[in-house]
Structures are given as structure tokens and as C-alpha cells.
Structure 1
């Protein structure tokens, strides 16, 4: 079964305190986005990179600098929202097959998790990596709050993997609705979400401390 991947790279550097979009920041001398692309290129049959049109020229410079072959991926312009960007990416992949949708700023995902997501989606139609909540949770409403049972909650990661045709149809139904992830779209269309065990190291690089953790993790793993 064909395995496609869509890498969504629409972030900015605002919360990182940087003028450089976070997907282009260097992680141990290699841009975050390039690390992510290389992981999926090793597992998937085709990779679609979704970038804001305004970042195309900058990406071209990076691609040449780090010797990334144009045939390793398809470049697609992102939309005004993550939903639109994913839809644009989905237009480039054809069914039958599976598609993994991944945040570009999760460069520590393992090839094993990517492969496991594809294998699980082939069996159940979807695969969503999650990890247990380790902190105490409180639900805040106006000026009051209450404890939430963390055992009933999970933190959701990417890659989120689906049957291509089913996730395409789901996005067609809810193209004008805002969702924070692809599993939400898939579920809203009446499909059952299948959870798999994620990885605590598979963080989403959002703040400076995340980049420091990622650097230290890579140093420890490959030392």
C-alpha cells in the first residue's frame, strides 16, 4: 500500500523570540524542517511539503545549502490556516493508500513511530499517537477552576495517519471549520480514531526551551 506524507510547515518564530520561522531554525547545525523531511523520506513513498508562499525563496536557499534533492518531495503553497494548508497538501496525494500528516516542527519523531503509524492505519483506518499526561490538570473557567482526572486525558502528537480517501472526504465536509488537528476532522466526519502510543521525545518545538531540549536529546542519543 502506498505511503504518503504531508509535512505542514506554516509556523512563525514569534513565540521563539526569533525573526526566523521556527521550522527554519538550526537544530545542531541542521534546520528543523530538513531533519523532519529526512525522517519521512526514509519511510514514506512520497513526501509533500506545505510551506507559505512567502517562504519559498528562503527554502530554495536552504535546499541548495543542504543538498536536498527536489525529487525528494513536492512543494505546495500553504493556505491562511492549518486546515487550508492540509487540504492543499491532500490535493497532491492520490488514493488508494495511506497518508501521514505531520507538524514540521516535530523533528525528533522516530522512524519507528512513523512506520508504526502507517502499519496501524493500514489495519484500522487511522493511527493517532498520544502520550499520558504527567502533570496535574485543572479546568479553568472564568475566575474558578477544578481538578480534572488526568488518567482520562492524553496529549496528542503527530504524525497522524489515515486512509487517504477517508481523510480527504472528511476535510471536504469541514473545510470551513477550525480544528487543531487532523484527528478532529476525521472524527467529526463520523470516523473512529485509533490511538497508538506516542513518544515523550516527540515534542513540538514552540519555545526556546524546546529547541534546547531537542539539541540536548540529540547530543545524548548520538554521543
Structure 2
């Protein structure tokens, strides 16, 4: 069975307060994005990696690959107007039946165990996403005031989100709507159930300077 990993990296670094897109910031001496790609290569050296980058960032990425002697094979797709459109562009390079995992380029700490479990479970369940528990108290904002809600009724969603390839391609033929915030929401719009599995807490999404400090500490 062919396995694909679509790695979406379209950040502009605005929340980092930097002109350099966050996926290119250095972590332990090399760009964050390289750490992320390496995580999937370590899981399966035969996995077909599809990297989705905005056109205006691709030349710089190629320069970084030369500078850091990055030689893992991948195919490149153009980023789109939104994450939805970026993933759709990546799916155009999925040509064989199999499994497709979609992962954020700025989540370099995804564990090998979670990657493997998501792909394994997707064989039977067709749509699998990793989640972690909410550990802080949640409040629901009302028209007037707010109220505490049961945090046990909620989960925090991570990536990779792994799907049957044909199912995901079909789902992304839908018209975009703003409530499509991740791949699971696109699939659920077709009334397809999504299976939840345990993620790893270290699998943070690096979007702020604080996140980068946490990432340095994790390494």
C-alpha cells in the first residue's frame, strides 16, 4: 500500500514577529521544516513526501536545501490561498491508491509511535486524527458573560491526520467554506466519521517566539 505524507508549510512568520517564515527558522542548527520532513522519513524511508510551499518561498527553500545538504526526496506543490487550497494542490500529486497523511510543516516533534499508529488505524477506519486531552479549565463565551464547560467533552487536535487516499481526494472536491479548519472537517462534511487516537503532547505547532523556546528546550 502506497503511503503519502503531504507536509503543508505556508506560514509567513507574522506571529513570530519575523520577516522569515516560521518553517525556515533555525532549530538545533537547521530549519524547522527539515526536522519535520525527517520525522516522516525516519518512520518510513519509502513514504512519498509531498511538500506544499508558496511559490514565492520555493527558491529560498532550494537554497536552504543546498546550504544544509538536505537530500531527502520529495515532490513540490504550490501553496494555495488557504490551507484547504494548499492541501488540494498537494493531493493533485497523489496518483495511486493508498493512505495520505497531512501534517503541519511546523510540527517537528511528532513521535514515530503516533505516525505509525495513525497510518495503521487508517487502513480500517479510513479517517484518523491524533488528539490530546484538555488539561485546563474551559469557558464558553456567551452573549452575556461566560460559563464553565466540561473539559472532558473536548479534545485538542493535532496532525498528521491520515485518510484513505480516494476518500480524501473526493472530500477535497467540495467547495471551500470557512469552517474547513483542518482535513477532518473537510471529510466530516461528507458525513464520514473520524476516528480519534492519542497524540503526543510534545507535538506542538511552532507559531510564536515562546513556541520556539519550548522547542529548543524539548531538543
| TM over 0.5, shorter chain | yes
| 1:144 corresponding residue in structure 2 | 145
Provide the secondary structure at the position in 2 that maps to 1:50. Answer: strand
Alignment of 1:191 with 2:192, yes or no, is yes
| 1:22 corresponding residue in structure 2 | 22
Alignment of 1:94 with 2:110, yes or no, is no
Contact 1:10 1:52 (C-alpha < 8 Å) held by counterparts: yes
Provide the secondary structure at the position in 2 that maps to 1:72. Answer: coil
After superposition, residues 44-55 of structure 1 pair within 5 angstroms as 44=44, 45-55=47-57
Q: Which runs of 5+ in 1 are unaligned?
A: 219-223
- Note the C-alpha offset of 1:61: 0.7
| 1:119 corresponding residue in structure 2 | 120
- Note the C-alpha offset of 1:41: 2.1
Q: For 1:102-147, what per-residue CA distance to the aligned partner results, in whole angstroms no more than 9, with x for missing partners? A: 0000001112211111001012112100000001000113442111
Q: For 1:64-117, what per-residue CA distance to the aligned partner results, in whole angstroms no more than 9, with x for missing partners? A: 111122x61001111111000000001101231000000000001112211111
| 1:207 corresponding residue in structure 2 | 208
After superposition, residues 126-165 of structure 1 pair within 5 angstroms as 126-165=127-166
| 2:168 corresponding residue in structure 1 | 167
Distance 1:141 1:10 in 2: 33
Alignment of 1:76 with 2:74, yes or no, is no
- Note the C-alpha offset of 1:148: 1.1
| 2:5 corresponding residue in structure 1 | 5
| 1:38 corresponding residue in structure 2 | 38
| 1:58 corresponding residue in structure 2 | 60
Provide the secondary structure at the position in 1 that maps to 2:194. Answer: coil
Provide the secondary structure at the position in 2 that maps to 1:42. Answer: helix
Kindly tell me the number of residue pairs found equivalent between the two proteins: 216
- Note the C-alpha offset of 1:199: 0.7
| 2:111 corresponding residue in structure 1 | 110
Contact 1:6 1:100 (C-alpha < 8 Å) held by counterparts: yes
Distance 2:110 2:74 in 1: 19
What is the TM-score of this pair, normalised by structure 2?
0.95
| 2:176 corresponding residue in structure 1 | 176
Provide the secondary structure at the position in 1 that maps to 2:172. Answer: helix
| 1:217 corresponding residue in structure 2 | 218
Provide the secondary structure at the position in 2 that maps to 1:172. Answer: coil
Distance 1:25 1:143 in 2: 42
